[in-house]
Amino acid sequence: MTLTELQRLIETMYSAKDRERGPEGTFMWFSEEVGELAAALRENDADALAAEFADVLAWLATLANITDVNLSEAVAKKYGGGCPGCDEMICICDSAEKP
């Protein structure tokens, strides 16, 4: 499934609820899912990790949908030409920097 397909799927399933909730409420749900992902990372449970990564990605797609951001275009624009910090395809930024 591509990012575009994911955004369309989430839009089809949840658009009415998501738009009613708005960006602020949706961000709170997204944040909760990131916390659940953190717990799954600590537990190192492969099944839980996969489920939580899927949840985080779905809520990110929801946020993108209700703020009219095309994730595929945004990712391609920012990362399609290489690292945004050093412009290389294999990052050579200092590891203390956040590219």
C-beta of residue 81 within 8 angstroms of C-beta of residue 18: no
Residue 87 vs residues 32, 75, 92: alpha-carbon distances, Å: 33, 14, 9
Q: What is the pTM of this model?
A: 0.89
The third-level CATH classification (topology) of the domain covering 3-68 is Helix Hairpins (1.10.287)
pLDDT tens sequence for the chain (99 residues) = 999 999 999 999 999 999 999 999 999 999 999 999 999 999 999 999 999 999 999 999 999 999 999 999 999 999 999 999 999 999 999 988 776
Q: Which has the closest alpha carbon to 14: 32, 72, 1, 25?
A: 25
Domain ranges of the chain: 3-68
Q: What is the pLDDT of residue 41?
A: 95
